[in-house]
Amino acid sequence: MKTESVDTVVLGAGPAGLAAGHILAKAGRKPLVVEKGKVAGGLMRSIKRGDFIVDIGRKELYNRLAKVDGMWA
């Protein structure tokens, strides 16, 4: 992405950062979401250790808020 095409920088690709980038893009802005980690999701992701997969974060948000669940889908 060319830097001159970015008009907004969002720090962090957790739930709030991804939602902010999505809403800004829908509003016609040109956001760049920057994440220091290797994967997006923040504390709303799964990690794998050996043969085990562990969900971290607050997963109940998916079931409680249909709008949030729809954005993740």
18 touches 12 (CB < 8 A): no
Q: Kindly report whether the global pTM for this prediction surpasses the value 0.75.
A: no
Max Cα distance, the chain (Å): 44
Q: In terms of DSSP H, where are the helices of 1-73?
A: 15-26, 61-64, 66-72
Phi and psi, residue 31, nearest 5°:
-80, 155
What pLDDT does residue 17 have? 94
Of 16, 25, 30, 10, whose CA–CA distance to 72 is shortest? 16
What pLDDT does residue 1 have? 60
Average pLDDT for runs of 10 along the chain of length 73: 82 92 96 93 86 78 66 68
Domain boundaries, the chain: 3-72
